[in-house]
A and B are shown apart, each in its own frame.
Chain A
């Protein structure tokens, strides 16, 4: 009896060890990171830069799968095997809005497992250099006095549209949202005077801001952006809201084992905390580096989903 017990104890111990050994075996082959945007854009460059600072022991290959907003890439990863070898680099806000707009099946965002968030590319509200209003206060006054006259442009009908709705809802102004199929087209439209105001990300427009062609009026984040410390936030202007932020994160499909998620999270966090990585993001790319882990991201998504949903429902009646 005693020897049997001993044997079963040894066996149990051995089995427990193999469990740990499996986790240590990951990764055994290269990882695939799907980027649901085209090569060269902000969504693509952010993950490429981060991967240079992360060491998994195996190479990580980036695969660009643009299309359908970002829904094609998201669905590919969602439907892939949850073994940790296929990851998604995307903006949580984009996924939340995509689900609300029925571009993604319901539940995709909450089903996918967030691993980390690497940086925030905040949107800002700006005007051109010939604009009659050059501060946020002047803009809101003008907008209140001229309902429906001011056009605000941006790319697409997802996160940027929600930002426009936030401005309209919080500031109680009536703006005319014009959607363009790419950020560059919306930027060109502002520069050409076809729209009066623009909602765009900071990182893509630093050169134009420095040259004076774009004047930022306010930012959508809770705190001022390190790239433009003189530009107020919506909160400071008296509107207690934050916008749809351009947080760039990494996700794993539903069902990925917890040890694998933990391993990936640890590896990413190491890279995210590297001071050289932070410097590259800040100085070279114009993106605020952050280091959110899995739990923080999940909380952010939960908090913001209800808010965006209410906004979209409120304004969809007007169609």
Chain B
């Protein structure tokens, strides 16, 4: 399959229809709006617009949906940096350094780097998608239960490096996160756990409500205490540079590379997701930097790593979806539905029989990144003005959006209660010195480790040594052990 001819066919199909590009642009803008409002997510945007695309041609529909996807994942950084409230769970990690930067008056720098990093990550994964997608399709299936278990454990070991200041509290947070994820029907055996017969808890604590509760609500409740003393949110620079300075780009080079690669790799593995990719990229960048302890107090590399990783996941996730019909994340699974409804079957045949659709999807993804950069940079000025709105007005509006967004996922009032509950819990946790990132890692990765571990053992009928037959898994576990040991290494030397 010739790459250039596919792209050529795609370009032709894309631009023959003059409505496709405007639809794509509209999608990106809608995605950015959904992404920046806490409570509304890229997945929500895509699933709302999906039924409308049934009326359109496949290329029109896919261009719109891909635009929303790219915009949605990118949009979360505005809230993350300016308010310490991530617009989507993909941008949780951007808060760590983005918000301190904003408080130091460097919000514009952080924003422009975040957008630039999103573009870099997205474009990198686009290049990978276009050039080596069929080859990498194999990778998506090489990872079996043991490999996912090892990957999950490696992700959890990141907790140690993130919580190195107060390890015990960090571990408690992580365990609490794992516990929250355990409530509900066990994915492997189908038994209800910790539901106390309350059928509403059968599917556990809903993800969006929990994450938004801890990060958005918890943050707002914390900020509300000091509202009377504070006037404005952040001190904005007078001149707003739209493109990051060369020095910042140079400094973040390593972060951008790590983020793009990790993001693409995580995207290819079904079921891991943007927030995990961002955390892994962040912790790697931190570990490899000369001054790891300064991360969390406003290092621009942190923003670069997080945003490039979460956007790179998009392209990565499209690889197994298009080549094998195995979606890499939630949005790609909805995109797949979009393909099926038009009678297209993602898989190797689609590359042969519907080259124009495949090519258009590549072009759509590439163009979405470009459109996103342009629109997102222009939106910086809009957001700066938005910050002049006093917190007493802004926070309730955000709260309403969180409630609406949470409700719109499953149409359940129960989800809203979870939002309020976790928000309150998040407030108390943060104020007792328990940091939230380990909790989120536990919440997201706990189930991955558990269900894959049990599946691996079920497949081997309880034989633990079957792990040793999987070299990839062993290597990942060794890396995980290193992650755990490394933060302690220098201390041992000094003692």
Contact = CB atoms under 8 A, between A and B. Distances in A.
B338 interface: yes
A288 interface: no
Given A64-B47, A179-B188, A40 B459 contact: no
A50 interface: no
Given A40-B333, A68-B185, A103-B190, A178 B47 contact: no
Contacts of A187: 325-326
Contacts of A62: 51
A40 B47 contact: yes
A71 B145 contact: no
B459 A68 contact: no
A194 B51 CA distance: 36
Contact of B327 (A48, A184, A210): A184
Contacts of A176: 458-459, 461
Given A38-B333, A285-B340, A157 B188 contact: yes
Contacts of A184: 270, 325-327, 333
Contacts of B192: 102-103
B141 A188 contact: yes
Interface stretch (A110-118, A200-208, A235-243): A200-208
A204 B325 CA distance: 9
Residue among A177, A184, A206 having the largest count of chain B Cβ atoms under 10 Å: A184
Contacts of B343: 283-285
Given A39-B337, A179-B189, A283-B343, A68 B455 contact: no
B210 to A, nearest CB: 13
Contacts of A44: 337
Contact of B271 (A66, A103, A185): A185
B315 interface: no
Contact of A206 (B47, B188, B345): B345
A66 B47 CA distance: 13
Interface residues of B, number: 55
Nearest to B320: A188
Contacts of B327: 184
A71 B349 contact: no
Given A69-B190, A191-B141, A151 B199 contact: no
A72 B141 contact: no
A168 interface: no
A67 interface: yes
Contacts of A179: 187-189, 455, 458
A207 B348 contact: yes
B459 A195 contact: yes
B334 interface: yes
Contact of A72 (B54, B335, B410): B410
B292 interface: no
B349 A103 contact: no
Interface in A207-259: 207-208, 210-211, 213
17 contacts: A38-B334, A40-B336, A40-B337, A40-B338, A45-B341, A48-B54, A65-B410, A65-B411, A67-B184, A67-B202, A101-B190, A151-B459, A179-B189, A179-B458, A189-B141, A191-B141, A192-B143
Interface of A: 38-41, 44-45, 48-49, 52, 62-69, 71-72, 75-76, 101-105, 148, 151, 153, 156-158, 176-182, 184-185, 187-189, 191-195, 204-208, 210-211, 213, 283-285
Interface of B: 47, 50-51, 54, 140-145, 184-185, 187-190, 192, 199-200, 202-204, 206, 270-271, 320, 324-327, 330, 333-338, 340-343, 345-350, 410-412, 451, 455, 458-459, 461
